[in-house]
Amino acid sequence: MPFHADELRVDLACAPGADGHWRGWYGIHADADALRRLGLHPDQPTARVTAPSPPRWWHEAAERHARGHPAR
């Protein structure tokens, strides 16, 4: 793994939702210097969203492909 144990933290929080079902969410925190070591930093142009998201069909096709299902 490219991170040392003290450079990455993963938090998990759980709580019941409005419908009574339990929900969980993760928070992932990486040390900025560890990201820079990998060539990532906040000033890097690709570190920010610079264009609109691809259309919905594109995401659906990618998910079908990942599951090994043929196209419709």
φ, ψ (nearest 5 deg) of residue 13: -125, 140
pLDDT at position 38 is 83
Sign of CA dihedral 62, 14, 30, 50: positive
pLDDT at position 16 is 94
- Give Cα separations from 58 to 51, 61, 62, 63, 65 (angstroms): 15, 5, 6, 9, 11
Q: How far apart are CA 18 and CA 15, in angstroms?
A: 10
pLDDT, tens digit, for every residue of 38-64?
Answer: 888 766 766 667 788 889 898 888 888
pLDDT at position 46 is 64
Amino acid at 36: R
pTM of the model: 0.46
Contact between residue 28 and residue 10 where contact means Cβ atoms under 8 Å apart = yes
Q: Indicate the average pLDDT of the chain.
A: 84
**Does residue 36 have a pLDDT over 90?**
no
pLDDT, tens digit, for every residue of 6-24?
Answer: 999 999 999 999 999 999 9
